[in-house]
Amino acid sequence: VNALKQTDNPELAAHGRLLSKKILHVALVMCKSVPYCIFSEQSQAQASFVELSLARLIPRSLIRAFIKMVMHAPQSGSVEDADAITDLCRKVLVVLLDLCPKVKDELIQILCSLLAVNVSMGPAFMSDLLEEARRSVGAGHLEKTKGFPKSRIMLDNSPDDSGPERALLTMKTEVYWNGDHLRVENPAHSTPCMNFIVTNKGLYIVDPTAYGYPMKNPSVVKHHGFVEITRLVKGHIGQELYLGLGSESGGHEEFMMIICHRSRERDQLLGKLHQLCLKSGFLPLFEDTFMKEVLGRHKVPDGRYELATFVPKDTNPLLVVLTKTGLLEFVVYPRCWKPPKDED
């Protein structure tokens, strides 16, 4: 933490960022590995074992240090490293909030006391943390309802499909299947969108607004194994991603358009899917040329823009694009999207 504060010494600050990322990564591996160490077949005894173990491995002093890393990382000069430190810290805290209920209140107090002095990032960090914690709870219940036992120690997030199924990534998304919007059961819900969950065995589209979710109803809308994915297409807009999937009849390729709520989440999802799909063999990774061409024909030269974001709608999403000359709005028709050709 002290190294991160050395804004007048770039080399020392760089070492501080690197060390912070390594420490947080080790902490995350420990947090995710402990639940797979079987102490007892009784759920209450196992939960107590996990909580006590994490309390010893990740003490309060270390939690404070993690949050201070997040606070000082943006001042050390690298936006990319600061984002990585923030993301790793948030993931560690999400696991602790989920698996250590007895220290939840104390953990929130620590967060509030330290982040209160940083009004520029505190509210955003807390909001993202609590939202990710809610998604993590849903993913955890999905694991339990599917009945995959935690039968062996998992030491990392390696794409190993031979053991118990476990959630690796979860995020809020808008999903379009062959151009049709997959709508949630309850549009009046506080978060009326689909959860996209990636496990070590496949991907799930889950409706968190469904009645009884997640305790009584995991509400899985779609499920696909990695072998079904025929290609990944990185969208021209930072939030979008396209999955090519083999049709049930085997006659043609079907497409799923995924709009993440944040650009960095799209990149995380794309990287994780590509890593996992490679286990099934060679998987083409394409760039979306169609959206670039369409924007180029509508006052966006060469498809280049300063900022762009999707606004979810009931049927077709709205795309807002900021260029050097002005602000443009487009209605996007996912059904009209065309995949890149093999030579692209």
For residues 45 and 84, membership in a common domain is answered with: yes
Distance CA 199, CA 220 (A): 13
Q: How many CA atoms lie within 13 A of 41 on its CB side?
A: 0
> 212 or 158: whose pLDDT is higher?
212
Does any domain span residue 156? no
For residues 204 and 335, membership in a common domain is answered with: yes
**What integer pLDDT is reported at residue 243 of this predicted model?**
94
Tens-digit pLDDT profile for residues 258-275 = 999 887 889 889 988 988
The CATH number linked to 222 is 2.30.29.30
**What integer pLDDT is reported at residue 256 of this predicted model?**
94
Average pLDDT over residues 2-12: 71
For residues 121 and 200, membership in a common domain is answered with: no
Distance CA 222, CA 41 (A): 31
- Percent of the chain past pLDDT 90, that is, above it, reads 21
For residues 262 and 289, membership in a common domain is answered with: yes
- Single out the residue in 102, 119, 146 at which a domain terminates: 146
Q: How many domains does the chain have?
A: 2
**What integer pLDDT is reported at residue 201 of this predicted model?**
86
Q: How many CA atoms lie within 13 A of 261 on its CB side?
A: 13
For residues 169 and 42, membership in a common domain is answered with: no
Does any domain span residue 341? yes
For residues 182 and 273, membership in a common domain is answered with: yes
**What integer pLDDT is reported at residue 79 of this predicted model?**
74
pLDDT tops 70 at residue 64: yes
> 122 or 73: whose pLDDT is higher?
73
Confidence of residue 121 (pLDDT cuts 50, 70, 90): low
- Single out the residue in 146, 179, 195 at which a domain terminates: 146
Does any domain span residue 107? yes
For residues 183 and 298, membership in a common domain is answered with: yes
For residues 126 and 170, membership in a common domain is answered with: no
For residues 142 and 174, membership in a common domain is answered with: no
> 238 or 41: whose pLDDT is higher?
238
Confidence of residue 343 (pLDDT cuts 50, 70, 90): low
Q: Give Cβ neighbours of residue 185 (< 8 Å, ≥ 6 apart).
A: 207, 209, 210, 211, 219
Does any domain span residue 157? no
Q: What's the chain's average pLDDT?
A: 80
Q: Identify the CA nearest to 315 among candidates 220, 210, 176.
A: 176
Does any domain span residue 153? no
For residues 208 and 136, membership in a common domain is answered with: no
Does any domain span residue 32? yes
Tens-digit pLDDT profile for residues 74-93 = 665 667 788 888 888 888 88
Tens-digit pLDDT profile for residues 288-328 = 999 989 888 887 877 788 888 898 887 899 999 988 888 88
Confidence of residue 140 (pLDDT cuts 50, 70, 90): low
Does any domain span residue 241? yes
Distance CA 258, CA 212 (A): 25
> 263 or 45: whose pLDDT is higher?
45
Domain that holds residue 137: 10-146
Tens-digit pLDDT profile for residues 205-221 = 999 888 888 777 778 89
For residues 112 and 176, membership in a common domain is answered with: no
Q: Are 328 and 300 in contact (CB under 8 A)?
A: yes
**What integer pLDDT is reported at residue 290 of this predicted model?**
92
What is the chain's percent helix, strand, coil content, to nearest 5? Answer: 45, 20, 35
Does any domain span residue 2? no
For residues 216 and 171, membership in a common domain is answered with: yes
